Amino acid sequence: MDVLELIYEVIDELNLDLGPSEQLKKDENSVIFGPESTLDSMGLVNLITLIEQRIEEKTGNFIAIADERAMSMQESPFKTVKTLKEYIEVLLNEYNA
Amino acid sequence: MNTMPEDRKVILITGTSKGIGLYLAQHYISKGFQVIGCSRNSVDFSDSLYTHICADISEEQDILEIYKFIRKDIKRLDVLINNAAINPAIVSAALLPYETISQTFRTNVFAPMLFCREAVKLMTRNKFGRIINMGSMASKHEVPGEALYTSTKTALNAYSRVLAKEVAKAGITVNVIAPSAIKTELSGKINPMALQEVLSRNAIAEYGEMNDVSNIIDVLIKEESSAITGQIIYLGGV
């Protein structure tokens, strides 16, 4: 599964509901959480939820992205599209191992 | 095959095998809702509009399985009523065993939080949701012997008020209904004299009725009630 492509599909879907100044760029460096992000807290919830949903549709398995490890990591996986992608890849690899 | 009409609202109620939960399940079936209920035990009724799931809600995995079923087979959730609760020990706070404290918090606080977490994810899809958490007049009355139960319900009040602020933009409201004492198995564990004394502090010093609860929930879950959120509504003039 191309995780980056999946995240971009979800960003496309999210952007449909966001105003011109709130659009999230399909870029690995896009910030998804914090003051520099165009997403507010519910926007981030939507992003995570839609990604979890897409993974479940594609694999039949529900994988919680916002798990305890994610919350306790020194470098949050919810910082940029790139960090999120890398974290999801780790979760998928572990699930499939 | 799911033949549910697209406009039929879906309501998830915890603790539907008895008491207020059972009453609410049957009330909303009669109103044409698709009702999903859960409890440790099975229920002794069936209806084409009702699905029962046996679950131990103090276990996160059981809650996730309920939502997996809703996502796959029902595909939407409009209303969540966090009703299930336990009150295993009416005893001095100085005598509460750790496991009793832990189990009560898992059921009365952690479980509603997990139900809310997963409900918000589903409700944001439709930009509509109504969450009702069941509180208690115990939060106001601070009755000796009820420290554990009271603290779980007060935690749920605080959680609900914060959650209401987080999810308002997504069209989701969160409110707490705190009924007066209603004759159920749970309230039956309380010394009747002590309960009467507590009830005497209310404007209405009598037991409440089940329909007092459904009456206010009926109002809160209406689409038009989008501005009523973050409220703790005490019944009986507490």
Give the domains, in start order, of chain B with CATH numbers. Answer: 10-226 (3.40.50.720)
**Percent of chain B whose pLDDT exceeds 70:** 97
Measure CB to CB from residue B124 to each of A46, A62, A64 and give the nearest one. Answer: A46
In this structure, which long-range contacts are made by residues B39-47, counting pairs with CB atoms below 8 Å and at least 24 apart in sequence? Answer: B39/B14, B39/B15, B39/B84, B41/B17, B42/B17, B43/B16, B43/B17
B189 band by pLDDT with thresholds 50, 70 and 90 = confident
- A31 contacts A79 by C-beta, under 8 angstroms: yes
Q: What is the pLDDT of residues B46-70, one digit of tens each?
A: 999 999 999 999 999 999 999 999 9
CB contacts, 8 Å: A42 with chain B? 124, 166-167, 169-170
d(CA A39, CA A49): 14
Closest residue in A to B164 (Cα) is A42
Residue B191 has pLDDT above 90, yes or no: no
Sorted by where each starts, the structural domains of chain A and their CATH numbers stand as: 3-96 (1.10.1200.10)
Tokens of B108: 């009365």
Interface test with A, best of B121, B122, B126, B127 (most A CBs within 10 A): B121
Q: How far is A65 from chain B (nearest CA, A)?
A: 13
Closest residue in B to A54 (Cα) is B71
Query: Is residue A71 less than 8 Å (CB to CB) from chain B?
Result: no
Give the SS3 label for residue B182.
strand
Q: Say if the Cβ atoms of B68 and A62 lie within 8 Å.
A: yes
Q: Say if the Cβ atoms of A42 and B170 lie within 8 Å.
A: yes
pLDDT of residue B4: 57
Phi and psi torsions of B37, nearest 5°: -120, 160
CB contacts, 8 Å: A45 with chain B? 120-121, 124, 170
Q: How far is A49 from chain B (nearest CA, A)?
A: 6
Q: Say if the Cβ atoms of A49 and B124 lie within 8 Å.
A: yes
Q: What is the pLDDT of residues A11-33, one digit of tens each?
A: 999 999 888 988 999 999 999 99
Is the reported ipTM for this assembly greater than 0.85? Answer: no
Cβ atoms within 10 Å, residue B150: 20
Query: Is residue A67 less than 8 Å (CB to CB) from chain B?
Result: no
pLDDT of residue B154: 98
The Cβ-side half-sphere exposure at A20, using a 13 Å CA radius, reads: 0
pLDDT of residue B2: 45
